[in-house]
Amino acid sequence: MSDPIVTLATCADFPELDDDDRGLPDALRARGIEPRIAVWNDPDVDWGQSGTVVLRSVRDYAAKGNYSNFLQWARSVPRLTNHPDVVAWNSDKHYLTRLGEWEVPMIPTAWLEPEAGYSKHQVHTRFPAHGDFVVKPAISSGGRGTGRYTATDASSRSAAINDAMHHLRRGRTVMVQRYLEEVDRKGEVSLVYFNGVLSHAVEKAPMLHPSFKSTDEIHEEIVTAREPSEQEWLWGERVRKAIHALIKEVSGRDIQLLFNRVDVVGDGRGGFYLMEVSLIDAGLYLGAAPEALDNFADAIAQRVLW
């Protein structure tokens, strides 16, 4: 009897996976699984013969011309993890407003919709009057298109307007959020779950420095593994319950997630804001924590062997 097949879906920019995932094929082989690597939009790949397909470095899914094709591809794959219903709603950050309905605190956000036809002046009036703020598209991957700006600096504010208009003209919803000083003081915390169980946590250094400019490049992250505090663990469970409530609402049933990364930041008052839930191309920091790679390989094996 041949070994079960697991295909790790990636993109053309990372044809052999990104650095963090490079050890995964060997870890799967050690568990009696035949690993394959395939670019998600390669027309020569027969996804019907690809066994269980695990989303990994599909960093280009939100790029111009790819988004609708990616969602269509996800629906066409017979055995995709995470589930295509989950992929569809997690690909658009409007999901944050839905999670807020389950009392998960979010960073206050102004949503600029492209159909509103905003002028530059109207965009300007929706920016904060003081402090730093962030402009980013609602559909993006790897931090592409995200910029940090200063409200009281005329040139920075003008650059923010141009950034927002760039996205709006291309039919993209724009998110405007106040930049949290807590990010500079303590960074973000990412909680990584496999098959619903917390595997590990990392602390991420701030990426959006005051001189940061919006680009279409993937943002590099500096992470340090550490044990989550009890409060962070409880917060992660609160977010996880809200995620599954949304899954049930959207899909009509609960769906177990192979991987789930929850990013939070302190609110400066002893609580947290949810920054993002990553269920598609999530960096899982497999090289940051000693147990992370084995935990992920075990989680995949549970799906295909048990």
What residue ranges do the domains of the chain occupy?
A: 5-82, 91-105+181-303, 109-178
Q: What architecture is the 109-178 domain classified under in CATH? A: 2-Layer Sandwich (3.30)
Give dist(CA 222, CA 20) in Å, integer.
Answer: 13
Phi and psi at residue 179, in whole multiples of 5°?
-75, 130
- pLDDT in the model for residue 56: 97
Amino acid in position 79: R
Position 210 pLDDT exceeds 60: no
Confidence of residue 133 (pLDDT cuts 50, 70, 90): very high
Lowest mean pLDDT among 14-18, 44-48, 193-197, 225-229: 225-229
pLDDT tens digits for range 102-125: 889 999 999 999 999 999 999 999
The pLDDT score that the predictor gives to residue 118 is 97
**pLDDT over 50 at 234, yes or no:** yes
Q: What is the pLDDT of residues 240-261, one digit of tens each?
A: 999 999 999 988 999 999 999 9
Q: What percent of the chain has pLDDT over 70?
A: 94
Within 170-229, residue ranges assigned H as helices are 181-186
Q: How many CB atoms lie within 10 A of CB 32?
A: 11
pLDDT at position 212 is: 46
Four-point Cα dihedral 68, 73, 79, 84, nearest 10: 10
Are residues 186 and 267 in contact, defined by beta-carbon separation less than 8 angstroms? no
Residues 139-196: tens digit of each pLDDT: 988 777 889 999 999 999 999 999 999 999 999 999 999 988 877 777 789 999 999 9
- How do residues 52-62 score in pLDDT, each as one tens digit? 999 999 999 99
49: left (phi > 0), else alpha (psi -120 to 50), else beta?
A: alpha
* Architecture of the domain delimited by 91-105+181-303: 2-Layer Sandwich (3.30)
- Rounded CA separation 17/37 (Å): 8
Q: What confidence tier does 37 reach under pLDDT thresholds 50, 70, 90?
A: very high
Report pLDDT digits (tens) over 258-299. 999 999 998 888 889 999 999 999 999 999 999 999 999 999
What pLDDT sits at residue 28?
98
User: Within 10 A of 124 (CB to CB), how many other CB atoms are there?
Assistant: 14
pLDDT confidence of residue 96 = 95
